[in-house]
């Protein structure tokens, strides 16, 4: 009876160790550039994949970019591309005003990839050209 209890305990310890390794957070990078920057980003597991969500902040003044969007890419530990997707940002949320001195817009991108396989995520913000006012 003791050997089976020992083997059960060992199997449980291995399972918990493996689960802990699978839940390790991937590295999220968001290169800066232009009048838009990634303020926050996080990975959330979901059925059939995972969501990357966060906020983008504008520093361009009172004119919003014409076609703001984010491009999210997920890579494995060897640097191989696993999944990618885009999300359009609400242009009106990126306009600076007295009511919103630090404008920001939210984004949510679904990646059809198991979060346990993702080692690195890159979030790129593209703004297009500033719209004339």
More confident residue, 53 or 25: 53
Residue with tokens 């530990």: 77
What per-residue confidence (pLDDT) applies to 15?
35
Residues 88-122 pLDDT 10s: 998 888 887 777 778 888 999 999 999 999 999 99
Residues 49-80 pLDDT 10s: 999 999 998 876 666 777 889 999 999 999 99
Q: Check: CATH 3.10.20 for 26-126?
A: no
SS3 track for the chain: CHHHHHHHHHHHHHHHHHHHHHCCCCEEECCCECCEEEEEEEEEEECCEEEEEEEEEECCCCCCECCCEEEEEEECCCCCEEEEEEEECCHHHHCCCCCCCCCEEEEEEEECCCHHHCCEEEEEEECCCECCC
């Amino acid at each position: 009876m003791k050997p089976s209890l020992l083997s059960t305990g060992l199997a449980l310890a291995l399972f918990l160790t493996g689960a802990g390794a699978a839940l390790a957070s991937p590295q999220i990078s968001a290169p800066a550039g232009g009048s838009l920057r990634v303020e926050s980003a996080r990975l959330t597991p979901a059925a059939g994949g995972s969501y990357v969500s966060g906020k983008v902040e504008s520093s361009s003044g009172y004119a919003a970019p014409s076609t703001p969007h984010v491009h999210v890419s997920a890579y494995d530990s060897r640097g191989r591309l696993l999944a990618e997707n885009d999300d359009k940002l609400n242009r009106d949320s990126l306009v600076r005003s007295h009511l919103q001195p630090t404008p920001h817009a939210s984004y949510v991108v679904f990646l059809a990839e198991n979060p346990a396989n993702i080692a690195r995520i890159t979030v790129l913000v593209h703004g297009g050209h500033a719209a004339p006012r």
